[in-house]
């Protein structure tokens, strides 16, 4: 899953002189399945990754919203001295960032403006944050109701972020397999609201948001009135503006963005 997020993130970071090192032997954070059913696993699983990162001496930059959220929850618990269990040695010597706010920092945006090869003019983007990058703010440290980090990135690319009120509404998250009906209902609402705000595509920063919004769109055609809204990872849009070869990433999408990009002269 999410191979295009992985590849575009690596390519964009390289183009912006950000050195990424994959955390050696990382393990799954347990995602919703752990915190939804076992409060010990909910902390122990991400705590292992915190310990590995501290051992390696690197800050963590996390592309997945759920991993980021669980790492922050574990960090919060461990630093408050409320964890008595496996992997309890974390001392807080490294920081945990979500990829969006990391790449949306003033320093990186400056570099982006300098190295931009073309403006994504005419592209109207509904920036979609979903849940776990921002909520709950006491854990994530991010603005929960009207975040602006992705709008700042999209504007720096020369595209136009639209104003809309559903940017932090849930996409259905991990229910894609067990309750696809819920995902379809929530996502249909998102397509409609984005289109109503004048967007011609969605930008996301989470693999699960992408999977749901991209994979459900054709199935939801009847309810949504057949809306066509390609779903980009924000890193893919960065890659397009930086002049990187985006073909292999975009070929992975269920909703083919080729028609939209051709119409805006960006193919």
Question: Which residue ranges make up the site for other proteins (CB under 8 A)?
Answer: 1-3, 25-28, 30-42, 44-45, 48, 85-87, 131-132, 135-137, 144, 168-170, 172-175, 177-179, 182, 185-186, 251-252
Tokens of residue 109, six digits: 């945006």
Least separation in angstroms between CB 251 and other proteins? 8
Query: Which segments of the chain does DSSP mark as H helices, in order?
Result: 3-15, 31-35, 41-56, 65-79, 99-103, 106-115, 137-140, 149-156, 180-196, 207-215, 221-224, 234-241, 247-250, 258-263
104 vs 130, beta carbon nearer other proteins: 130
Q: Which is nearer to other proteins, 30 or 161 (CB)?
A: 30
CB of 236 to other proteins, least distance (A): 15
Specify the residue, 50 or 154, whose C-beta has the smaller distance to other proteins: 50
Question: What does the alpha-carbon distance between residue 82 and residue 88 come to, in Å, rounded to a whole number?
Answer: 10
Quick one: three-class SS letters along 43-88? HHHHHHHHHHHHHHCCCEEECCHHHHHHHHHHHHHHHCCCCCCCCC
To other proteins, the closest distance from the beta carbon of 124 in angstroms equals 25
Cα 180 to Cα 29, 173, 184, 256: the distances in Å are 23, 10, 6, 22
Residue 98 in 3-state DSSP? strand
- Of 77, 107, 75, 108, which is closest to residue 93 (Cα–Cα)? 75
Q: How far is the CB of 24 from other proteins (least distance, A)?
A: 9
Peptide bond into 130 cis (omega under 30): no
Nearer to other proteins, 78 or 186 (CB): 186
Of 158 and 180, which CB lies nearer to other proteins in the complex structure? Answer: 180
Angle value at C-alpha 209, between 265 and 231, nearest 5 degrees: 10
Tell me how far, at minimum, the Cβ of 156 lies from other proteins, in Å: 28
Nearer to other proteins, 32 or 148 (CB): 32
Nearest approach, Cβ of 25 to other proteins (angstroms)?
5
């Amino acid at each position: 899953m999410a191979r295009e997020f992985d590849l575009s993130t690596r390519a964009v970071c390289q183009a912006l002189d950000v050195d990424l090192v994959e955390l050696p032997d990382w393990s799954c954070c347990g995602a919703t399945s752990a915190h939804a059913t076992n409060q010990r696993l909910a902390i122990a699983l991400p705590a292992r990754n915190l310990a590995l990162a501290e051992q390696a001496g690197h800050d963590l930059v996390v592309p997945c919203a759920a991993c980021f959220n669980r790492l922050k929850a574990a960090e919060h618990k461990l630093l408050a001295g409320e964890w008595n269990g496996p992997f309890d040695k974390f001392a807080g010597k490294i920081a945990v960032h979500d990829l969006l706010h990391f790449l949306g920092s003033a320093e990186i945006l400056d570099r982006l403006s300098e190295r931009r090869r073309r403006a994504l003019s005419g592209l109207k983007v509904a920036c979609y944050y979903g849940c776990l990058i921002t909520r709950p703010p006491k854990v994530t440290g991010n603005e929960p109701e009207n975040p602006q980090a992705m709008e700042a990135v999209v504007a720096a690319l020369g595209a136009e972020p639209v104003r809309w009120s559903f940017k932090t509404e849930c996409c259905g998250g991990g229910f894609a397999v067990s309750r696809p009906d819920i995902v379809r209902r929530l996502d249909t609402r998102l397509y409609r609201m984005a289109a109503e705000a004048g967007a011609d595509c969605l930008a996301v920063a989470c693999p699960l948001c992408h999977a749901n919004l991209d994979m459900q769109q054709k199935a939801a055609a009847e309810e949504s009135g057949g809306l066509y809204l390609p779903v980009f990872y924000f890193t893919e849009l960065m890659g397009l503006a930086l002049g990187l070869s985006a073909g292999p990433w975009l070929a992975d999408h269920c909703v083919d963005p080729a028609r939209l990009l051709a119409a805006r002269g960006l193919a």
